[in-house]
Structure 1
Amino acid sequence: MRGSSFMRPAANFEGSAIGMSLFHFLDERTPLKGRLALSVEYDGTSYCGWQRLKHAPSVQGALEKALGKIAGTDITVHCSGRTDSGVHATRQIAHFDPPVARSEKAWVFGGNANLPRDIAIRWIREVPDDFHSRFKALARRYRYVILNQPSRPVLERANATWCRDPLDADAMHQAAQVLVGEHDFSSFRAAGCQSKTPWRHLHFIEVHRHGPLVVVDLQANAFLHHMVRNIVGALVTVGRGEQGTDHIARLLALKDRTLGDVTAPGCGLHFVDTVYDEVWQLPKEPLGPNLLAFLGEWTGERPLPDCPMVAYRRGQPIAADVEEQMRRRLGRC
Structure 2
Amino acid sequence: MQQHSARYLIFFQYIGSKYSGVMKAPSHQPVEGVQNHLENAVRKLKPLNEVLVSISSRTDTGVHALSNSAHLDIVRKAGQTPFLEQVLMDALNFFLKPEPIRITRAYRVRSDFHARYRAVSRTYVYRLATGIRHHTEIPLTEKDLCWALQNTVLNVDSIREAGSVLSGTHDFSTFRALSTDAPYRSPVKTLDLVQVQPGLSFSQRHFHRDIQFWELTFKSRSFLYKQVRRMTGALVAVGQGKLSVSQVQELLAICESTAFPQNMAAPAHGLFLTNVEYDESDLMTCVQE
TM-score bucket (shorter structure): 0.7 to 0.9
* Residue number in structure 2 paired with 1:131: 113
- Normalised by the size of structure 1, how large is the TM-score? 0.72
* Bigger relative CO (Cα 8 Å, ≥ 6 apart): 2
Matches within 5 A, 1:138-287: 138-151=120-133, 152=135, 153-154=138-139, 155-164=141-150, 165-192=152-179, 194-195=181-182, 196=184, 197-210=186-199, 212-261=212-261, 262-281=264-283
* Distance (Å, rounded) in 2 between the aligned partners of 1:193 and 1:173: 32
* Distance (Å, rounded) in 2 between the aligned partners of 1:215 and 1:274: 18
* Alignment RMSD (CA, Å): 1.8
Kept in 2, the 8 Å contact 1:71–1:99? The answer is no
* Residue number in structure 2 paired with 1:71: 46
Which ranges of 4 or more aligned residues in structure 1 deviate by more than 6 Å?
none
* Distance (Å, rounded) in 1 between the aligned partners of 2:46 and 2:170: 44
Kept in 1, the 8 Å contact 2:121–2:278? The answer is yes
* Distance (Å, rounded) in 2 between the aligned partners of 1:168 and 1:209: 13
- Normalised by the size of structure 2, how large is the TM-score? 0.82
Task: Return the structure number with greater strand share.
Answer: 2
Kept in 2, the 8 Å contact 1:92–1:273? The answer is yes
* Distance (Å, rounded) in 2 between the aligned partners of 1:105 and 1:88: 24
**1:102 to partner: Cα distance:** 2.8
Q: Residue deviations 1:111-136, cap 9 Å, x none? A: 11211331011121111122211111
Where 1:97 maps in the other structure, the secondary structure is: strand
Q: Residue deviations 1:166-187, cap 9 Å, x none? A: 1112211111111122211111
Kept in 1, the 8 Å contact 2:108–2:283? The answer is no
| Distance change >3 Å, CA 47–CA 282, structure 1 → 2 | farther
Number of equivalenced pairs: 252
* Residue number in structure 2 paired with 1:303: none
| Distance change >3 Å, CA 247–CA 193, structure 1 → 2 | farther
**1:72 to partner: Cα distance:** 4.6
Kept in 1, the 8 Å contact 2:177–2:225? The answer is yes
Kept in 1, the 8 Å contact 2:216–2:232? The answer is yes
* Distance (Å, rounded) in 2 between the aligned partners of 1:282 and 1:40: 18
The alignment-based identity, stated in percent, is 31
Matches within 5 A, 1:83-102: 83-100=59-76, 101-102=82-83
* Distance (Å, rounded) in 2 between the aligned partners of 1:193 and 1:213: 35
Amino acid at match of 1:172: I
The counterpart of 2:35, out of the listed 28, 49, 60, is 60
Amino acid at match of 2:270: G
Where 2:59 maps in the other structure, the secondary structure is: coil
* Residue number in structure 2 paired with 1:114: 95
* Residue number in structure 2 paired with 1:43: 15
Where 1:49 maps in the other structure, the secondary structure is: coil
Where 1:67 maps in the other structure, the secondary structure is: helix
More displaced 10-residue stretch of structure 1: 211-220 or 39-48? 211-220
Where 1:61 maps in the other structure, the secondary structure is: helix
| Distance change >3 Å, CA 236–CA 193, structure 1 → 2 | farther
**1:88 to partner: Cα distance:** 0.5
* Distance (Å, rounded) in 1 between the aligned partners of 2:156 and 2:268: 20
Where 2:75 maps in the other structure, the secondary structure is: coil
**1:103 to partner: Cα distance:** 3.4
Kept in 1, the 8 Å contact 2:47–2:74? The answer is no
Q: Is there any run of 5+ residues in structure 1 with no aligned partner, and where? A: 1-31, 284-333
**1:191 to partner: Cα distance:** 1.6
Kept in 1, the 8 Å contact 2:107–2:283? The answer is no
* Distance (Å, rounded) in 2 between the aligned partners of 1:82 and 1:162: 24
* Distance (Å, rounded) in 2 between the aligned partners of 1:117 and 1:168: 39
Q: Is there any run of 5+ residues in structure 2 with no aligned partner, and where? A: 77-81, 200-210
Kept in 1, the 8 Å contact 2:5–2:75? The answer is no
Where 1:52 maps in the other structure, the secondary structure is: coil
**1:33 to partner: Cα distance:** 5.5
* Distance (Å, rounded) in 1 between the aligned partners of 2:277 and 2:192: 12
* Distance (Å, rounded) in 1 between the aligned partners of 2:85 and 2:119: 23
